[in-house]
Amino acid sequence: MARASYSRRVIQVVAQICRPSRAVNIDRDRQRRGEYLLDDYFVCNSAFPDTYFRRHFRMERHLFNKIMGAVCNHDSYFEQKPDAFGAMGLLPEQKINAALRMLAYGASANQVDEIARMRKSTILESLMRFCSAIESIYTTKYL
């Protein structure tokens, strides 16, 4: 009996050692990064003119806003919501920007992480949800 409980404890300790640990939480300063994105491209007196917006996003600003509105109405994932600690989450512009970067430039999630300061899993989730939203919204009209 004592032998079985000892071996059970050894197995539990080995399982604890072999269990992959969670990734370290990196402060990506998502609030400030979102404010920079808005100030650079989306407010009335933005830092960059419309020609820079077109070059960066490969579309006009009004088209981006139309797509963003349609995607946000279709999938609540893209709405800005508070997280578990009460801090506001990512802006819809940030999530859609990450998805468009991957699609337009063929960038990997790691490259977008360095620019957008979003976690890789969030970037990939945004991409998947963005593509499925675009497909379900515009398939009947354009295909």
Task: State the helix-helix crossing angle for 120-142 and 61-74, rounded to 10 degrees.
Answer: 100
pLDDT at 73 over 60: yes
Residues 19-57 pLDDT 10s:
666 666 676 677 888 888 888 888 888 898 889 888 888
> How many helices (H) and strands (E) in the chain?
7, 0
Nearest-5° Cα angle at 137, 136 to 142: 100
Q: What is the mean pLDDT of residues 132-141?
A: 91
d(CA 29, CA 10): 42
Tell me if 127 sits within 8 A of 98, measured CB to CB. Answer: yes
pTM: 0.75
| pLDDT at residue 92, rounded to an integer | 92
Q: Would you place residue 5 in the very low, low, confident or very high pLDDT band (cuts 50, 70, 90)?
A: low
Amino acid at the residue 32: R
User: Domain ranges in the chain?
Assistant: 29-142
